[in-house]
A = this chain, B = another copy of it.
Amino acid sequence: MCVEGCHKAVQKAIARREFIETAAGVVAGATLGANVIEDATAAPRNFTKAIDLTHTLNKEFPTYGGTENYVELEKIYTIEHDGYLMYKWHITEHVGTHLDAPAHFSPEGNSCEEIDVETLVTPLAVINVKTQAALNSDYQVSIADIEAWENVHGRLPDHCCVAMNSGWSDHLGTDKFRNEDSQGSLHFPGFSIEAAEFLRDKRNVNGIAVDTLSLDYGPSIDFSVHVAWLLSNRWGLEAVANLDDVPPIGATLVVGSPKIENATGGPARLIALI
């Protein structure tokens, strides 16, 4: 299997490598997106560094519904009595930095073990909306944000993951991460339905990712982005960490998602290679 980013979206010249100047600094990488050649032979992707895009999960990790007891570790063996330590996990699968499999909303959609591994190794495009989100907790990534990104970095590469960096992970550990108002409505950024439909219909995107608790913005009452996205049999990622540490384009995301039969998602280890 050829990894995503090698199928059809390849560098114009395989031997040509560039240094991409990013907001985060100068990062070694290969230009993708701007110079797409359809049906070219696969080009190698390369990296020198690994960045962890995963939050540590524990029982204090905030949940969308505010529910407690999403994560419990029951000690069942101990080094003192048994020679080794072992826990039984009791985990509600949509918690922490985690995958939404299509089956979460789609009766016909793939559950975790059915997602092709080739789609889990993917070029990562990061759209920075921190300024907008700082002014409006209910900010929704728009088509205009995507177009502005493409004006700078070129067309989104085929089979990529598009991540929203709203800066919201800075609020983890404070009430602002869920940002619940007195009526019980949450307030944090997400993708707009128009942007989700644009990525689904006008671009070739494997997955979308957010640094908040939901692909939909906090006040959503209909999960319209979840519905539009997951029913197209694509995956999503929520509560992604450390998006400030990766460039807008050039990283490869490896989605270390659980391969548990019938699971509709679950805590995932996300590692970006740059």
| A residues with CB within 8 A of B | 1-3, 6, 28, 42-52, 54-58, 71, 73, 76, 79, 83-94, 96-97, 103-105, 107, 113, 117-118, 120-121, 223, 226, 254-264, 266-269, 271, 273
Q: What residues of chain B lie closer than 8 Å to A260, measured between beta carbons?
A: 56-58, 71, 73, 89, 96, 267
Per a CB cutoff under 8 Å, which of B48, B50, B56, B254 touches A259? B56
Query: Out of B50, B51, B76, B87, which one reaches A263, CB within 8 Å?
Result: B87
Q: Given A57-B261, A254-B254, A259-B55, check contact A44 B42 (CB 8 Å).
A: no
Expressed in whole angstroms, the Cα–Cα distance for A173 and B117 within the complex equals: 22
Question: Are B88 and A104 touching (Cβ within 8 A)?
Answer: no
**Which residue of chain B lies nearest to A71 when distances are taken between CB atoms in the complex?**
B260
Complex Cα distance, B263 from A90, in Å, reads 12
| B88 & A1 in contact (Cβ 8 Å cutoff) | no
Instruction: Count identical subunits in the complex.
Output: 2
**Which residues does chain B contribute within 8 Å of A55, judged by CB atoms?**
259
Q: Is B271 within 8 A of A267, CB to CB?
A: no
* Chain B residue contacts of A45, Cβ below 8 A: 46-48
**Contact indicator B104/A261 (Cβ below 8 Å):** no
- Shortest Cβ distance from residue A160 to the other chain B in the assembled complex, whole angstroms: 15
Known contacts: A3-B47, A43-B48, A107-B79. The answer to whether A58 contacts B88 by CB under 8 A is no
A267's closest neighbor in chain B, by CB? B258
Q: Please, which residues of chain B bring their CB within 8 A of the CB of A76?
A: 92
Q: A256-B268, A271-B121 are in contact. Are A262 and B50 (CB under 8 A)?
A: no
Shortest beta-carbon distance from A234 to chain B in Å: 16
Which residues in B have their C-beta under 8 angstroms from that of A271? 117, 120-121, 254, 256
CB distance from A132 to the nearest CB of B (A): 28
Residues of B within 8 A of A269 (CB): 120, 255-259, 268-269
Closest residue of B by beta carbon distance from A264 = B85
